[in-house]
Chain A
Amino acid sequence: MLTIEDLHVEVAGSPILKGVNLEIKEGETHVLLGPNGGGKTTLLMSIMGLPRYKVTRGKIYFKGEDITNLPPNERAKLGIGIMFQKPPSIRGVKLYQIGEVSLRGKEDGDRIKSYAELLNLINHIDRDLNYGFSGGELKRSELFQLLCQKPDLVLLDEPESGVDLDNISLIGTVINELLNKEDKVKSRKSSGIIVTHTGYILEYVNADKGHVLMDGKIICDGSPRDLFEEVKKHGYGRCTECL
């Protein structure tokens, strides 16, 4: 579904990603671990195609198509969706409006309402998008938009950070829905990349593969739990040995 080859990305003139290779198959969920500033957000933003993240070398293929130079809206149409770590707020644009945008023509008010209900956002859909939302509300707002959009590749940037324990299982449930975790393993269509710092989300969502991203490179692949145990015990200290 997604193939990344030797990806180099610059942000504001400084090189951040320095040769990332990654392959995600249909139905797979990958977890991306790594220290702060390692480039996890940069990688997701580059897959989504945000213009601030400049690809200086390498290629991104999605469903066999070279998308390296496509704008974000074209990528969204092809089936990529992202949950921002720090989404901006937009005054005057309402949350339900972006729900409609994300539904793209398939809009029906019922679906917007039922997703909002599921995410405890029924009182938020008439409010300005993300404006004055709490940390947890921001995460739920992002997931609401993704539910409307139903992407085939879901990029989740720290879905659990700033979320209290009551809400984390809700967030896990919605992520599982986005990733068709209810379906039989073989018939799953959606793929995902979950960036996590704390790893808590792994108690709610099963991931197939894990990677450690550090200093702009993927330095280690393995089972998500093994990687996370390692990080819990030793931090990223021992990872530097693999650089």
Chain B
Amino acid sequence: MSEIIIKNGFVFDPLQGIRGDKVDIAIKDGKIVETTALTNPKTIDAAGMTVMAGGVDIHSHVVGPKVNTGRLFRPEEKLFQNIKKTGSRMEMGTSIPSVYKTGYDYARMGYSYVNEAAMPPLHSPHVHEEIRDTPIIDISAMPVFGNNWFSLEYLKNNEIENNAAYTAWLLRATRGFGIKIVNPGGSEAWGWGLNCANIHEPVPYFDVTPAQIITGSIETNEYLGLPHSIHIHPNNLGNPGNYVDTLETLKLAEGYTAKNAFGRTQVMHLTHLQFHAYGGEGFNFESKVPEIMDYVNSHDNITVDIGQVTLDETTTMTADGPFEHHLRAVNNLKWANVDVELETAAGVVPFVYSANNKANAVQWAIGLEIGLLAKDPMRTYITTDHPNAGPFTRYPRVIKWLMSQAAREAQMDAFKHRDKVIDVTNIAGIDRELTLYEIAQMTRAGTAKALGIADMYGGLAPGMDADVAIYNLNAESMPSDAEEIEKAFSRCAYMLKDGIVAVKDGEIVAEPAKRTIWVDVKVPENAQVNRDIYEHFLKHYSLKLENYSLFEEHLHNPRVIEVNAAE
């Protein structure tokens, strides 16, 4: 079968501790192998280039109903679209690309794995249809649990075993990956047009607090020993002063340690931290990143991702229904909302982030501060909460800002309210420039470890998937012009997926098969949970239990991760 050897490149593989050494990467039958295992390989000469494992995105909204609502209701962003077709299908959309553009653009940036951040369980067949049509990249999808009536009822009484049995059932029913929590309790409250103001305010009618939901979910997750930890979008997103809620949320993880067989060490992943690190009030909000990152840096059982604002016109979409309703009153733009029975509530609103807007510029600074104040890049990851803070296609720009103080200063100089922004943030005083090794930690090694998939993705050790990105960057003489960094990460020289060259010189040359990754957990039989499921479907869902679970034929090219929590 096919053999490839990648020679002479500067290899960055934090999972093996390889820091830019010239190491040959050998590939056989879609896997990384020892070089001695090759007989007659084709050679890719990576001289003067940087070699990393395929990127692993821990949090992005790429498939499913709210992403698709965003696509559908923004014809204006495609009006003058004119991209030459190079893959097998046309590429449409900018902030919310079509499935084809999504797959191609991730591949062009050297990414091979994306974790879809929010799957409404009721819509799982839709999510899997889109996964089927998204080319090249492997995708997992996290069902949302934090407002699910089953979980609310179990966690009110701290019934961890029941919640675990239900969680295992739902992961299987939706072919989902892990426990996502969005605005715990708040999205259920939105069913009545309300919200939970903080983590101690009980959910209307359910008499459980967001704090209880969060700790109960951690316990559930560790009881089951899932590959990933709970993945939380905490309460009060976007509100000045919310760093207090964020710190309180993080502190809920104290005393918990990860129990799993997948090498994961955190018990809580807190996502798009940028939106949750605000001090002050009203329009006078300010960065509280130092306070939060001090906490994160000193607590090993927590991971975070940034959610960097990229200063673009984009489309916000979250399973935080009340937040999107709030946002539509801020900018008066079109607003889509979908409350999903018994489970969640999502909203979609276009948003224009502008360098001329002080608040947006402060958000920009806050995001970068998170990356730059991170002591452990294995626990702090690059995201834009695509497409909420900006499209994922801006990762190369975010990398540029993190790697170059000059690039940051150039951006700050372009701010209309430069001095005011500097006053309420810490960005101007930070001279740290991240290294390629740190970037590899923040974009693949760290994310793969946190997702519990570091035995397959995010590294280049023998036995792992042969997903490799080769960037046109000479690690020994990095370009003085930071724009070159952005360019190199935007369009990689090569991207290999399962040992097949999918991208060459930044363009799609092949579309190797992609996979759906899901987690199958064995739990002890639980008669009560079975009865609860039966009852809720009989009385409260609008469709039949038998039609809710994904039919096998709607799951495409699966890769199942098995977990045994029955013993």
A and B interact: no
Footprint of B on A, CB under 8 Å? none
Footprint of A on B, CB under 8 Å? none
